[in-house]
A and B are shown apart, each in its own frame.
Chain A
Amino acid sequence: MSGVMSEWWTYRAEDFLLFSPRVYWRLIELHNQALWPWQLLALLLGVLILASMLRPRPWSDRLIAALLAAAWVFVAWNFLWQHYATINWAMVYVVPLFVLQALLLVGIGTLKGDLSMPARWSIPRILGIALFLHALLLHPLLPAYAGRSISTAEVFGIFPDPLAIATLGMLTAAIPRHRAWPLLVIPGLWCLLSWLTLDTMEVRGAWVPLLAVVAAIAGRLWPRAR
């Protein structure tokens, strides 16, 4: 047992990275090329969700959960399974978790209608909308900050990082908070995995998914207004 424990201490994050940064970013780039111009539709759906978060309607809460669930299934099948899994066999184990996240969103958010977007401003709502705004508008611009081609932009609804951050944003703003907690687990874990991957590849801005998790947890733990 002690041998096993001492052996684990000898591993470093890069020992688990199966591919080079060049291969990873070319995968993103080729995926963008293959899907263009569907990124625009994905962005439009994201804008629809954001508008529904800002001005909730009686029907919009269930719609938000349904759209996000559809995005989790699409990203799991189209990106993780068909493309990312070709260079990262661990994605075979991640895909079922993405499908589970979609089922949770549909079950709790769409069918039961247990997640609501608050109309009043609060710290969790501000943090949640900020996270969603980042996922929708700023995250695709990260390549410019990281010194990469914009063709490696990761767009909401197409790639897992902005989808997970957007979902964290929705769940940070949602009420009641105890209904949101179970749905935070999978997007939170994905963001941590992504942070480790990007950090191991020494990508500038690797901290973004980690910061999203911290912001979501802070928002959910923020004391209720009296």
Chain B
Amino acid sequence: MHSHGKLSRRTVLQGMLLAAAASALPPLDTLAQEEKPGTRPIPSTGERLPAVGLGSWITFNVGNDPVLLAECTAVMEHFFQGGGRMIDSSPMYGSSQATIGHGLRQLGAVDQVFSTDKVWTSDADSGPAQIEESRAEWGVPRFDLLQVHNLVAWQAHLKTLFEMKEAGEVRYVGITTSHGRRHDRFERIMRNEPLDFVQLTYNVVDREAEQRLLPLARERGIGVIVNRPFQQGRLTERLASEPLPAWAEEVGAESWAQFILKFIISHPAVTCAIPATTRVDHVRENMAAIGPPLPDDAMRQRMAAYVRDL
């Protein structure tokens, strides 16, 4: 036991080592920005985002039902508590935007959310009005990310979105698809437009994006948002009757949902997966999946093969 005011040789050596280590480290604010566990950089800016977000397709379309609105707010509360930021919606999703706006107001979380929405109208001229309606539903000053939903009228809408970005009315611009549709056209747009994000379907069984789109996103510096990670619940329902492999603990997966999410977000091109849920226990389970350990490439192949062979 050392008394105060006296320095032992061990203490001095420890201090010297710590000082040496500290001098080799980046400043603390940079450390927080760059190394926060479970975050990924947005390729176009380096801004970091938690690798698991929150989708709202079907789950947040609850109309004016006060009980269901409260449930959705609770999901959002636990999502933010778990470190989540990106919430994704669309004017196509019924009352989901209004539900998100309700939750943000209740939680006072407008500053926490990475607001991600879409423009979805075949009438190119009505795009700006639709975006403004969406923004009002959310109650945010501006969207962080706006995407052209399912490539509907994509040329005109992308022009609008790039102009908005130039004017500082939106921070990032992207396009979306799902279910593996329109990948050829998607790829052409990725090659020719200065996109910040693409959103597509990818999971342990829907792996077509691995062939061209995910490598292209890395090559072009485009962030990737992954929708339908659980195939709208069908995948997790199908797997529910199967045991998790014993080696799942090597990647820290305690459930099939975590197994799938870890598979998705460990792909080097993926920025964020956006599972949707109505349940607090599920959102907590999802958020717990963003931390280490994550599978390496060999383990990812093993995970995919295991699910394929079930």
A positions within 8 Å CB-CB of B: 3, 7, 10, 14-15, 17-20, 22-23, 26-27, 30, 83, 86-89
Contact = CB atoms under 8 A, between A and B. Distances in A.
Nearest to A19: B61
A87 B62 contact: yes
B93 interface: yes
Nearest to B64: A86
B63 A27 contact: yes
B94 A86 contact: yes
Nearest to A6: B181
Interface string B231-242: 010000000000
A15 B179 contact: yes
A87 B59 contact: no
Contacts, number: 47
B18 interface: no
A88 B94 contact: yes
Closest 5 CB pairs of A and B: A86-B63, A87-B63, A18-B94, A87-B94, A19-B61
Contacts of A15: 179
A26 B68 contact: yes
Contacts of B278: 20
Interface of B: 58-59, 61-65, 67-68, 92-95, 179-182, 184, 232, 278
A19 B68 CA distance: 12
A89 B182 contact: no
B61 A87 contact: yes
Nearest to A82: B64
A26 B67 contact: yes
Nearest to A27: B63
14 contacts: A3-B184, A14-B232, A18-B93, A19-B62, A20-B58, A20-B278, A23-B61, A26-B65, A27-B65, A30-B65, A86-B95, A87-B94, A89-B92, A89-B94
A18 B65 contact: no
B298 to A, nearest CB: 32
Nearest to B234: A14
B182 A23 contact: no
B13 to A, nearest CB: 62
Contacts of A23: 61-63, 65, 68
A83 B58 CA distance: 17
Given A19-B94, A26-B68, A86-B94, A10 B58 contact: no
B63 A10 contact: no
A22 B92 CA distance: 19
A89 B64 CA distance: 14
A207 B62 CA distance: 25
A88 B96 CA distance: 11
A94 to B, nearest CB: 15
Given A10-B181, A27-B65, A30-B65, A20 B94 contact: no
B163 to A, nearest CB: 27
Contact of A19 (B58, B64, B181, B232): B58
Contacts of A89: 92, 94
A181 B93 CA distance: 36
Contact of A18 (B61, B67, B179): B61
Contacts of B58: 17-20
A3 B186 CA distance: 13
A20 B93 CA distance: 12
A161 B46 CA distance: 54
A20 B96 CA distance: 12
A10 B95 contact: no
A18 B278 CA distance: 14
Nearest to A26: B65
Nearest to A23: B62
A87 B65 CA distance: 10
Contacts of A30: 65
B118 to A, nearest CB: 14
A83 B181 contact: no
Given A7-B182, A10-B181, A26-B68, 12 more contacts: A14-B232, A15-B179, A18-B93, A19-B58, A20-B59, A26-B67, A27-B63, A86-B94, A87-B63, A87-B95, A88-B94, A89-B92
